[in-house]
Amino acid sequence: MLSLNAIFILSAIAGGLGAALAILDRYLASYGICHVDINNGAEESFDIEGGVTILQAINANNIFIPAACGGRATCGLCKLQVLEGGGLVLPTETPFFNKQEMKQGYRLACQVKIKNDIKILIPEEYLKVQRFRTEVVAIEDMTHDTKLIRMKLIEPDTIEFKPGQFIQFEIPGTNEFRAYSIASKPSMKHFVEIIVRLVPGGLCTTYIFEELTVGQEIYITGPFGEFYWHEESDREMVCVAGGSGVAPIRSILDTMFEKNITDRKVTYFYGARAVKDLYYYHECLEYEKKFPNFKYVPALSAMDPGDKWDGETGFIHLVIDKYYDDCSDKEAYLCGPPVMIDAVIEVLRKKGMPEEYIYFDKF
Amino acid sequence: MNPFVIFFAAIFTNNIALTYFLGMCPFIAVSRDIKTAYGMGVAVIFVMTLTAAITWPIYHYLLVPYNVAYLEYVAFIIVIAALVQIVEMVIERFSPTLYINMGVFLPLITVNCAILGLALFMILRDYNFIQSIMYAIGSGIGWLIVIVAMAGIRTKLIFANVPKPLQGPGITMIIAGIMALGFMGFAGIVNLQ
């Protein structure tokens, strides 16, 4: 006869432990209401039930800061100054800060748990960031593996940004988001366009390619980014894009030519693999015809057999190397894969471009 | 059996890592540098002592009287898992310093066979409560000594010419074997039935 005792005893042990865990979780893991003071008493300060991270707390109160990795302490974008109440620095945070930053109280917002009243500093431009409810109005194919997504802003219905900045795209049905550069120009203030390249196995790009439909409601947050077009400058521009890095450059060039700013010399180097990967190509050829100060230099590094191409070939940084002798009076806007950016920065440095004029966004 | 004899034996002659080869996973993985090895060792002592203290009464006052002693494997695993969770919550709340130093290791220890092994040995050898506690603390200290020693050796090993196939876990296991041979030198100091 099966021992009933066994079942009871085991259930009693499991149940007792479960109850103990639940009670302890209730009492130990609850910290009461904590006050989060922002920018020394600014109106955005709020109260919240403790136990959540600073990032979760401020997101719940409609304040958004860049946090590309979603709380995994791998991107380091959510750096904030915590003046008081942050507690001890966790080992997951230390790789991101140097000694001076530690002294100034810099912490990763996604790692610091709010256990008591806390005082933080949030840069003004982040307080301007908003969360937009949008509707997808177009999904256009740019190449075999790249699409343009156009979203109409519903609430709020306008966006202000500088060409080159990015938004965070919330993947529906998950708590995840991914950063995408804004490919449209600021004058299209009721719309945001992004360019997405399919990454095999990628969470967001697979979602966009397989599930996203026109008419769907999407939430985006932005604008973010230290990478943007310096309109006031009159230095010659060297724009370099690789892969899906075209998006911010498209935003910059479209804005520039819409405003008829034609006295600055601009050269746009675009690195792709084969003819089938070219996009925003005919638009740039048009710009070349209309604006004598604009030069378009696409280069293919891995052509398919049968490709007809009489333009530049090889890796883009080698092409740039050929074009310039002296870059000390120019400024550069680079976006694309980290490897490409590193290689191009090397070349530009060699040609004398000052570090502070090399602007880049590594994907 | 004098509890202190058990304590001493658990550290040297019946070392849980080198004599019984239990707890090998973290032993190989966490012995890279001394600081983390030390943190892990302290966490192990903590969990072992707490485990012995809780599972002994559960066995003798709950399982045996109701004739379900055979449930020890299942019951012990459930208790160890829950216990580690509780301990982690308590430490995180009351001592952030301790949490930063060893809290991260606690979830790793839950499935450590050394903890279950300890619980089962204490039943097998029929220890009373005091003996069990001393056994647990001793085993923990023995494990700590060995993993810190291993970490020290591995730090020096960085400058040695280890053949490529053996680098990492390979050479660590060989060294563990040599350390075990070394510890065999302690045999006979105490006699544990």
What is the mean pLDDT of each successive set of 10 residues along chain A, which is 363 residues long? 77 89 80 86 84 87 79 80 85 81 89 88 83 93 91 90 91 85 92 90 85 92 87 90 88 91 89 89 90 91 86 88 88 90 91 89 72
ipTM: 0.72
pLDDT at position A268 is 93
pLDDT for the residue numbered A193: 94
Could you give the CA distance from residue B149 to residue B143 in angstroms, rounded to a whole number?
Answer: 10
Residue of B nearest to A14 (CA): B78
Residue with tokens 């979780």: A25
What domain range includes position A80?
33-126
Cα torsion through B108, B110, B115, B119, rounded to 10: 180
Do residue A302 and residue A346 come from a single domain? yes
Q: Is A32 on the interface with B (CB under 8 A)?
A: no
Q: Where are the alpha helices (DSSP H) in A29-105?
A: 54-60, 99-103
Alpha helices in chain A (DSSP H): 4-28, 54-60, 99-103, 124-127, 203-210, 246-258, 281-290, 316-323, 338-350
In chain A, which ranges are E strands? 33-38, 46-49, 79-84, 106-108, 118-121, 130-143, 146-155, 166-170, 177-181, 191-197, 217-224, 236-242, 266-272, 294-300, 312-313, 330-336, 358-362
Number of A:B CB contacts under 8 A?
A: 54
Q: How far apart are the first and last CA of chain A?
A: 66
Collapse the DSSP code of A292 into the 3-class scheme (helix H, G, I; strand E, B; otherwise coil) and give the result: coil
Among A126, A153, A188, identify where a domain stops. Answer: A126
**Edge-to-edge strands, sheet with A358-362:** A312-313, A294-300, A266-272, A236-242, A330-336, A358-362
Per the DSSP assignment, residues forming a β-bridge with A33 are A49
Q: At what angle do helices B169-183 and B129-157 cross, to 10 degrees?
A: 130
* Segments in chain B below pLDDT 70: 110-111, 192-193
B69/chain A closest Cα distance in angstroms: 9
Residue A7 near chain B (CB below 8 Å): no
| B192, B9 Cβ separation under 8 angstroms | yes
pLDDT at A61: 85
Search chain A and give the residue with CA nearest B84. Answer: A21
Domain count for chain A, please give it.
3
Helix H or strand E segment including A305 = none
pLDDT at A147: 92
Residue B70 to chain A, least CA–CA distance (Å): 9
Question: Cβ B86–A5 below 8 Å, yes or no?
Answer: no
DSSP state letters, A229-242: --TT--SEEEEEEE
Which residues of chain A does B71 touch, with a Cβ-Cβ cutoff of 8 Å?
6, 9-10
Structure-block tokens of residue B12:
């040297």
Choose among B79, B85, B104: nearest Cβ to A13.
B79
Compute the distance between CA of residue A170 and CA of residue A222 in angstroms, rounded to an integer.
11
pLDDT for A130 equals: 86
Does residue A230 lie within any of the structural domains? no
Instruction: Answer yes or no: do A120 and A147 share one domain.
Output: no
Residue A343: beta bridge partners?
A: none
C-alpha distances out from residue B161 to A195, B28, B158, B167, B169, Å: 51, 19, 8, 9, 15
- The residues that bridge with A237 in the sheet, in sequence order, are A266, A331
CB A65 within 8 A of CB A100: no
**What residues of B are in the A interface, CB distance below 8 Å?**
58, 62-63, 66-68, 70-71, 74-75, 78-79, 82-83, 85-86, 89-90, 92-93, 96-97, 100, 104
A20: contact with B, CB 8 A cutoff = yes
User: Are B100 and A91 a contacting pair at CB < 8 A?
Assistant: yes
> Do residues A116 and A86 both lie within one domain?
yes
Dist. CA B142–CA B136, nearest whole Å = 10
A341 within some domain: yes
Q: Do residues A112 and A135 both lie within one domain?
A: no
- Given A201, A224, A247, the domain boundary residue is A224
Residue of A nearest to B85 (CA): A21
Please check whether residues A41 and A95 belong to one and the same domain: yes
Contact yes or no for A9 and B66 at CB 8 A:
yes
Say yes or no: A135 and A97 in one domain. Answer: no
Confidence (pLDDT) at A134: 94
Cα A296 to Cα A71, A197, A241, A307, B36: the distances in Å are 40, 22, 11, 19, 55
Q: Domain tally for chain B? A: 1
Residues 6+ apart with CB under 8 A from A201: none
8 Å CB contact of A88 and B74:
no
Q: CA nearest B99 in A: which residue?
A: A90
Residues A354, A262 share a domain: yes
pLDDT averaged over every residue in chain B: 87
Q: Establish if A205 belongs to a structural domain.
A: yes
**Range of B136's domain?**
3-186
CATH number at residue A134: 2.40.30.10
CB contact under 8 A, A10 and B66: no
Please report the pLDDT score of residue B30 as a whole number. 80
- The answer to whether residue B80 is domain-embedded is yes
